[in-house]
Amino acid sequence: MKTNNLYLHADGDAFFVACELTLRPELRGKPVVVGADRGIAVAMSPEAKKIGITRGMPVFQIKKLYPEVVILSHHFDLYEDIEKRMQQILSSYFNKIEVYSIDECFALVDPSEVKYFGGEKNLLAELKREIEGTLNVTYSLGLARTKALAKLASKLEKPGGVVALLAKEDEIAALKRTSIDNIWGVGRRTIPRLKRFGLKTAYDFVNFNLPPSFSRPMFEFQRELQGEEIFGVSFNADPRDQKSIQATRTFRPASTDQKVIWREIAKNAERASEHARELRLVSNKVGVFVKTSEFKYKFDEIKLPMFTSDPGIILDAIEPRFPRLLNKREKIRSTGVILYNLTREESVPLDLFGRQDKILKKRIVEDAADKIRAKYGQGAIRRAASLANLKRK
């Protein structure tokens, strides 16, 4: 079954509990519930579910019936931090991602991204390894030709499952395994109506001739599960409102060579800056990170003297900090550059001595380079730092 694009769905496993366990690793393997501050169970570990605790169960009842259970309060700042780091990981693999909720993301998977990793299964295995190695939580991953099929796939082997529906027979088997109660987009009030028609599985739903009395979204979800691409990945309505731009790149083989690592950082600075110029945005704070073969991050932030989208200025600011990120014994497998505090060019306050205005006007050189790349390709013109060595090495 050939498709142009695929969709990925990443679904956090017992997400609130998993996040709490990153702070309390000694509780792994024990029955844990989050919800002490709400008075009811909001999230449960698999061990808690196994002994009979369900969502919404009162905390006082849990304490009485299951005294061995550890009950924790929410820490939403922790959940948001892990969710943002998950976004950063997905952004390093895919160009287009959609945050669906605090513990769910979609990504549009381009064929070139699949090819880069040597196939769908290699891509999913690498992504799973990085998520677990970096965040210390698990996500269940589903890959399919529509969003609805990808979301269905991610539910099949929870927790920590990886399911790719790459052939029609894979889709049919997945649809038959999924109860009518667990179809994305089918509400609680609609399920009894479908059951009255004798429908028991998603496969039954896909092959059922829905009466006109059902709502339009029901027909759309049905077509999605049939393999028709209806729902795209949703993006920021106004990309100029974003507050950061990140460019990351994994390279092979991993290296300890400063020149190789600097070249990759320079490429990321160019990509992030070019994206900012496309949107007429400028930044006055930059972040730079490297990631080792063991998935350890080393990160630094640098305040820029003025707002800019000039990669030369950005690299000049990064270069003195660069050696701090490296250890001769650690191989680096990827790098990233993040532009923070993004501001629209027309909204940048000018300084008394006109330095900010000069920097903004100087971008005419980069604009010309962008036009050359647009006409002849990304490799047509490059900054010297991204082609060779450190400037002063």
Strands (E), 145-214: 162-164
CA 113 vs CA 109, 119, 134, 352: distances in Å: 7, 9, 21, 47
Tens of pLDDT along 13-26? 999 999 999 989 99
Structural domains of the chain ordered from first start:
1-167 (3.30.70.270), 241-386 (3.30.1490.100)
For residue 1, pLDDT over 70 is answered with no
Residue 320: asked if its preceding bond is cis (omega within 30°), the reply is no
- Of 119 and 296, more confident: 119
Tens of pLDDT along 206-255? 999 999 988 888 999 999 999 999 888 876 556 677 777 888 777 878 89
For residue 27, pLDDT over 60 is answered with yes
The pLDDT score that the predictor gives to residue 299 is 84
Task: Give the integer Cα–Cα distance in Å for 113 and 93.
Answer: 7
Q: Are 220 and 230 in contact (CB under 8 A)?
A: yes
Task: Give the integer Cα–Cα distance in Å for 273 and 314.
Answer: 9
Tell me the two tokens of residue 95: 């160009």
CA dihedral 123, 125, 131, 132 (to 10 degrees): -170
CA 48 vs CA 41, 64, 202: distances in Å: 10, 14, 28
For residue 97, pLDDT over 80 is answered with yes
CA 41 vs CA 44, 48, 67: distances in Å: 7, 10, 14
The pLDDT score that the predictor gives to residue 392 is 43
Q: First CA to last CA across the chain, in angstroms?
A: 52
Range scoring the smallest mean pLDDT among 83-92, 256-265, 343-352 = 343-352
The pLDDT score that the predictor gives to residue 271 is 87
- Single pTM value for the model: 0.64
What's the pLDDT band for 349 if we cut at 50, 70, 90? Answer: confident
For residue 10, pLDDT over 60 is answered with yes
